[in-house]
Structure 1
Amino acid sequence: MKNIAQRNWYTEVRRSGNGELTGKTSYVDTFREAAAYLLVDVHSFIINEAWWEEQRSSNPIPAQTRQVTPLQGTEAYFSSGPALKEAGAFLKDPLAAALFSETVKGIIQAETFLLSERGYNSEDDYTKKWSDFYAGSCRYYSNLDQVAKDWYEYIGGSKRTGNLFVRFKTQSLFELGENQYLLTGNLSDSFHEVNVSLRIDDEFIVKEADGVLLRSPDIICRETASLLVNLEGIKLKGMVKKELASILGNGQGCVHLIDLVNDCMQMLDTFSFRL
C-alpha cells in the first residue's frame, strides 16, 4: 500500500479574554498550507476581523496574509453561507471558503460553553433550543426519546474556559495496486470521533465501505456506521453532497459521518491527477 496524498485540518476556538473569541482553521496537504482566522464578538457572534494566510502552494506565489473584508460585520453562525461564498470569490479560492466554513462550525460548537454570553438561562434552555432547531436532522435528534443521556451529561457540563473547542480531520489516499485505491477519513473533536474507509477502483466506484464512530453523544449515533455499505457500487467522483446525504440516511444518518465521506470525495477532485 502506497500513500499518494493526504489532507490535514485543525480547528481551534478560544476565548481571547477581551469579550471576543478567536477561531482558527489550519490546513496542510501535500501541496498547500493555509489558515483562516476569525475574531468574533462573544455575545453576538459578529465577525470583527477575518484573515486569510497562504504559507505554501503548488502555484508560484509568495506567502501572503490578507484581510477578508466580505466577512467582517457578518454573523459566524448558521446564516453565514452567503458570506462564506463571497469570501471564497473575494480570494478566488474555494479552499478559503472551506476553511472559513470549518472555523464557523467550530464557533457554533463552542456556543455550548457560552450560555450566559449567548443569552441562555440554563443548560436546559440551551438543550431545548438545539433539540427544537435540529429536530429530525440526524440520528441523535431524530430519536431523542431513545437517547440515554442528555447533552450536558455527555460532555460533562457547560463550564469550560480558555480553549472551548478543537477538531482534527485527516483524509488520505492510498494506492493498493491493480487499479485499486483506498480513501480514509478521520475526525476527532471535543465531542466526536469518527473513521471511514472506502476502497475504490480506477473509475471511482466504491467496492467496499466501512467505518466506526469511536466516540459520540449516544450509542444510537454509532448505528449510522452501518449505512456506509449503501455506498458500495456507487461512483463517488462528481457526486453532490445532497445525494451523498440521501444515501447515508439523511435525518437518520450522522452529519459528521456524511461530512467526513464528503471530505474524502473531495480528495478525488483535488488529487485524481495522481491516480
Structure 2
Amino acid sequence: MICVYNAHSYNLVQKESTQQILAQTHYITTNTEVKVMIWCNINTFKIKKAVWEIYRTPEKIAMSSEEVPGLQGVRAYFGCGPALRENLSGEMSELKRKLFADTITAVIQAEVYLLPERGYTSLAAYDRYWDDMYAGACRYYSNLERVTSKLMDYAGVDNSLSSLFVRQQHLNINQVDTDKIIVNAALNDFFHEMAVIIEIAAGSLIIERIFAEILRSPDRVCKEAALLVDRLKGKTLKAMTKKELINLLGARQGCTHLIELIYNSINDAYKLI
C-alpha cells in the first residue's frame, strides 16, 4: 500500500476582545497550503476584515497575503453564499469560496459560547431558536421528539473560553496495488467526532465497500445516520452528483457533517485518480 495524498483542515474561532472574534481556516495538503482569516464584530458577526493567504500551490503561485474588501460588512452567518460567490473569484476561486464558507460555518458553531453578546437571554432561548430555525434540516432536528440530550446542554456552555470552536478534518488516500484505492477521512470538533473508510476500484471508480462511525454527537439519534452509508456501495464516483449523494445519505434524515465529509473525500479521490 502506498500513501498518495494527505489533506488536513483546521478551523479555529477565538475571542480576541470584548468586541471582536477571529475565525481562521488553515488548509494543508500534499500539494497545497492556504489560509483564510476573518475578523468579525462579536455582536453582529459582520465581517470587519477578510484575508486570503497562499503558501504553496501545484501551479507554483507566489506566496501572498491579500485582503478581500468585498466581504467587509457581510454577516458571517447563514445566507452569505451569494456574497461569497460575488466577491471570491480569480485564481483558486473554488477552493477560496469553500474555505471561506467553512470558516463562516465555524463562526456559526461558536455562537453558542457568545449568547449574551448575540442578544440571547438564556440557553433555553437559544435552544428554541435552533429548534425552530433548523427544524427538519438534519437527523437531529428531524427527530426532536426522540432526542434525549438537548444540543445546548451537550455543548457545555462557558463564554469565558478564549477558543470558542475548533474543528479538524483529515483525509488520507492510499493505493493498494494497481486496482484499489482506500480513502480514510475523519472529523473532530467540539461537538462531533466521526470517521469514514471507503474502498474504491481504481479502474471503474466504483465504491466497493464503505464504513462510517459517528463516535461523538449531540444525541444518539445522530449516530443512526452512519448506517445509511451502505447505500453508496456499487455507486460510481464519476456519475455521482452532490445532490444524489445527499439523497442517498438520507437528506434531512442524514447527518450534514457526515455527508460533507464523505463528499469531500470522494471528490478529492476522483480528482486525484
State the TM-score bracket (shorter-chain normalisation).
Answer: over 0.9
Give the equivalent residue in structure 1 for 2:191. Answer: 191
Contact 1:26 1:36 (8 Å CA) reproduced: yes
Once structures 1 and 2 are overlaid, which stretch shifts more, 246-255 or 57-66?
57-66
- 8-17 or 111-120, larger mean C-alpha shift: 111-120
Code of the aligned partner of 1:254: C
Q: Is the 8 A contact 1:183 1:198 kept in 2?
A: yes
Q: Quick check: 2:13–2:106 contact (8 Å CA) kept in 1?
A: yes
Are 1:87 and 1:96, in contact at CA under 8 Å, matched by a contact in 2? no
Partner of 1:24: 24
Aligned-pair CA distance for 1:14: 0.4
Aligned to 1:271: 272
Q: 1:91 to 1:160 in 2, by over 3 A?
A: farther
The structure whose residues are more often helix, as a share, is: 1
Matching residue's letter, 1:177: D
What secondary structure does 2:74 align onto? Answer: coil
Aligned twin of 1:78: 78
1:104-142 deviations in Å (ceiling 9; x for gaps): 000000001111111111101000000111111111111
What is the CA–CA distance in structure 2 between the aligned matches of 1:138 and 1:4, rounded to whole Å? 33
The percent identity for this pair of structures is: 35
Q: Is the 8 A contact 1:76 1:107 kept in 2?
A: yes
Q: Structure 2 matches for 1:89-104, cutoff 5 A?
A: 89-104=89-104
Secondary structure (helix, strand or coil) at the match of 1:214 reads strand
Quick one: distance in 1 between partners of 2:174 and 2:122? 47
Partner Cα distance (1:269, 1:146) in 2 = 37
Q: How does 1:42-81 map to 2 (within 5 A)?
A: 42-81=42-81
Paired residues of 1:87 and 1:97 also in contact (CA < 8 A): no
* One-letter amino acid of the structure 1 residue matched with residue 172 of structure 2: S
Distance 1:18 1:153 in 2: 24
Deviation string for 1:162-212 (max 9, x for gaps)? 100000001111111241111121000011001111101122211001110
* Offset at residue 237 of structure 1 (A): 3.0
Deviation per residue, 1:46-76 (Å, 9 max, x gap):
1010000001112122210011122111110
Q: Displacement, 1:150?
A: 1.0
For structure 2, which runs of at least 5 residues remain unmatched after alignment? none
Q: Please, which moves more after superposition, 222-231 or 239-248?
A: 239-248
The corresponding residue for 2:223 is 222
Question: Hey, what's the Cα distance between the residues in 1 that align with 2:197 and 2:96?
Answer: 26
Equivalent position of 1:176 in the other structure: 176
Q: Using structure 1 for the length normalisation, give the TM-score.
A: 0.95
Secondary structure of the residue aligned to 2:3 is: strand
TM, length-normalised to structure 2: 0.96
Distance 1:270 1:69, change over 3 A: farther
Is structure 2 residue 216 aligned with structure 1 residue 200?
no
State the Cα distance separating 1:93 from its structure 2 match.
2.4
Q: Which one-letter code corresponds to 1:163 in the other structure?
A: S
SS in structure 1 of the partner of residue 81 of structure 2: helix
Unpaired runs of at least 5, structure 1: none
Give 3-state SS (helix, strand or coil) of 2:58's partner. Answer: coil
Q: Is contact 1:185-1:263 (8 Å) kept?
A: no
Aligned residues: 272
The answer to whether the 8 A contact 2:3-2:175 is kept is: yes
Residue 242 of structure 1 deviates from its aligned partner by: 1.6
